[in-house]
Structure 1
Amino acid sequence: MEDWTALQAQVLKAIDGLVGSGREVGVQVAAYLDGRLIVNAVSGLADAANGHQVTPDTPFFSFSTGQGLTSTCVHVLAEQGRIDYDLRIVDVWPEYARHGKEHTTLRHLLTHSAGVPHLPSYTTPEDFLDWDRMCRTIAMSAPLWEPGTQQGYHAWTYGWLIGETVRRATGRLLSWVLAEDVARPLHADRELFFGVPEKIPLGHLARLTDCNWSASLETLSEHLPNFEKIAPAGVRPEASLGNRRDILRTDIPSVGTVSAKGIARMYAALMGEVDGVRLVSPDRLRQITGVATHGPDWSFGGESPKSLGYAVEVGGQRCGWAGMGGGLAGMYPELNLSIACLKNHLGTNDGGPMEGVAELIRSTVANAPVPTS
């Protein structure tokens, strides 16, 4: 069995350096290879105000990265035969048929090609607390394109679209599916959440701080013509929103509160067995990791390929989600490797520090000698 002690030390040195330089406040990194935890490193403060240290179990509120939980729940249900990717949404959610959306399928939702990435300009955080209100708003909206004809990141709407479809089709809340069919079998039931349950004190969570992220969001608003449509001013993915107690307790399945170890374990269990648990079959893994959409992303511009529920990142090597503000989590199927790098000091993530740490792990694993029997 390969000894990854040196890699663990390298990762710890890298994140200690980021924290020591002031570039980061708190960082959590985990990686699984062939179903085995090979990196589990933390550094810095979960909460700079009270001096609480990050631990391997500290949950981090994570923008976008949490969508990986949502997609995984769908695939687990599909594996169980409880839902089908080609389900027409209106067959379980009749109110969704308005304005020509009657042919939208679950596959369109998963690939961000449903045409409803937008929210009303007056949307507030208080709206996010009301599940039924958000679902009514989305159901009544007119699509910006014919479903399936193009793609664009459904930043906020993804969670309610998937969550309500699952609820109508199976009679189960998405948070129940996550807890009962994903987190509990993986012994990660205190590390993978949408809304944080009452049994978990919010003081145990990492508290978000702002590096240059608010300024970056302002720049995105000025230069991307559709940014305000997907993230109106009242619900921009900022630290202040992610620190709200009511938001943290509410199921919003476009975001999640997770530990790096927990979400890396989830991705590992999509690719193979983790302590005897495998979430999907090898055939389904191939289905959900292949590129499903091509062409420019309506929301952000530029090529942004997506698989069935995940972004296809790092030149096609990683399936997962890099979150707004700098965190990331995903799987490298060719290597049977999963990586999660979480942080609480939100900043731009183009070529950011977490990508650097992830690449350190990936390249070390990729270039390691093949074990001999």
Structure 2
Amino acid sequence: MPVDLRTDLARLLDDAHAAGGDPGTAVCVVRDGDVVAEHHVGTRGDRPGSLPWDAATLVMTYSVAKPFAALTVLDVVAAGGLGLDQRVVEVWPGYARAGSPKAATTVRHVLSHAAGLPCFPPGAADVPFDDRDALVALLEAAEPVHPPGEAVAEHALTYGHLCDELVRRATGGDLADRFAALAAEHGWDLHLRVPPAERHRVADLVALDPGWAGDYLADPRWGPALGRPAGLLDPAVLNGDRFRGTSFPAIALHASARGLARFYDDLMTPGGPVATRLGPDAHAALTTAQASGHDLVLDRHVAWTCGLQVDDDELGMGGAGGCSAWWSYGRRHGAAYLTRGLGGPDRAEPVWQLVEGTTGA
């Protein structure tokens, strides 16, 4: 029986909010440039008088950010400033000491989570999250957990700093600034660093379970990957202007659902803005598998493009708190689910099942 996508998405989100499971949520689906379904519910915060969530609301999305760090590096590749198979040490000499296996690391290895640096070293636990130079220096000194290109392991927090340093070394500019120009050019409401004038639109995060952060930190895989530097699982830190004004490109994308859905629709439009901007080689690197295997952090098989996860159904990325955005191969649309309620990474599953299973989209 056909499903009315708009109505059923609204009912799904409204019911979850009424049951106390989602304090603020949004979903959007875009096909061929048109919004075919959109709904938002809840508020931007928990204090009395908090504004309702609307189409302009931004929220921090954790690893949903990673494709945009990758996109920015690929924009430099397309402009001739880097080569995908260029060794990192050619532009960043301090990245590897003589004799280190890191010397073989390529730009493609970094972008496809095959560089072997999924965690900042233990010393990062004592480094402020916004001390970019100190964190980059720790990455320079670190040895990979596997030879570059011989395994995959999601670079949970390190990804953005590796990408940012590549952009800086190749262009002299900052990754977040370059991405901001890209986003503005194409009308994507997406921010790797939130300008002061836009911070009033950002929803406050809240842990749905008091043990949410502790569960991650106690996990032998996720604890090192997400716990160094400290504080990046703490809503009190993430909700502050200090974090919102910091470029931490592995996780600090602040996005609207419509902005994400529009990006994924643009990403896969033949001859569209992303394909045109990147050219065929860089666009293929972003949208097709470049490395695959049993991911040492995610503990499952993953096929990584230069920035995204890909399988037979979709191309996209989810985040630790529950946000997710994707392109659907079957339905030929871009979609996004955003929430300010921090919970498990599979919280978008009911939305995905409805969006991808409906015959009314």
What's the secondary structure of 1:101's corresponding residue?
Answer: helix
Partner of 1:269: 266
Between 33-42 and 150-159, report the one with greater CA deviation. Answer: 33-42
Shift of 1:132: 1.4
Q: Are residues 221 and 199 of structure 1, via their aligned partners in 2, closer, same or farther at CA, if it must alter by over 3 Å?
A: closer
Give the alignment of 1:175-186 within 5 angstroms: 175-181=176-182, 183-186=183-186
Distance in 2 separating the partners of 1:45 and 1:274: 38
The verdict on how the C-alpha distance between 1:137 and 1:298 changes in structure 2, with shifts beyond 3 A counting, is same
CA contact (8 A) 1:121 1:232 kept: no
**Aligned match of 1:33:** 31
Letter in 1 for 2:86: L
Partner in structure 1 of residue 221 of structure 2? 226
Percent identity at matched positions?
A: 26
Q: Is the 8 A contact 1:158 1:253 kept in 2?
A: yes
Alignment partners' CA distance in 1, 2:33 and 2:288 = 21
Gap change, CA 1:64 and 1:327, over 3 Å in 2: same
Q: Is this contact kept in 2: 1:42–1:56, CA < 8 A?
A: yes
What's the Cα RMSD here? 2.5
How many residues are aligned here? 354
- CA distance in 2 between partners of 1:81 and 1:335 (Å): 34
Residues 4-19 of structure 1: pairs in structure 2 closer than 5 A: 6-19=4-17
Q: Secondary structure at the match of 1:51?
A: coil
Equivalent position SS for 1:65:
helix
Is the contact between residue 186 and residue 265 of structure 1 (CA under 8 Å) also seen in structure 2? no
Which residue number corresponds to residue 357 of structure 2?
Answer: 363
TM-score (norm 2): 0.89
SS in 1 for 2:355: helix
Match of 1:323 among 319, 329, 334: 319
Q: 1:266 & 1:292 partners in 2: Cα distance? A: 21
Work out the CA distance in 2 between the residues paired with 1:88 and 1:334. 37
1:271-310 matches, cutoff 5 A: 271-272=268-269, 279-281=277-279, 284-310=282-308
Deviations 1:181-212 (A, max 9, x none): 2x112223xx2111211222x33210001102
**1:1-373 pair list within 5 angstroms:** 6-49=4-47, 50-98=49-97, 99-124=100-125, 127-181=128-182, 183-188=183-188, 191-200=189-198, 202-212=199-209, 215-222=211-218, 224-232=219-227, 234-255=230-251, 256-272=253-269, 279-281=277-279, 284-312=282-310, 316-350=312-346, 352=347, 354-364=348-358, 367=359
Give the conservation status (yes or no) of the 8 Å contact 2:77–2:282: no
CA distance in 1: counterparts of 2:157 and 2:120, whole angstroms: 8
1:221-254 Cα offsets, whole Å, 9 max, x none, are 44x4332221226245342332132111100001
User: Tell me, which stretches of 5 or more residues in structure 2 are unaligned?
Assistant: none
CA deviations over 1:90-143 (Å, ceiling 9, x no partner):
111111012331111111011111011122335358622122111111111111
Distance 1:281 1:32 in 2: 23
Instruction: Tell me by how many angstroms 1:262 deviates.
Output: 0.9
- Seen in structure 2, the aligned counterparts of structure 1 residues 47 and 219 have a Cα distance that, compared at 3 Å, is closer
CA distance in 1, matches of 2:270, 2:173: 26
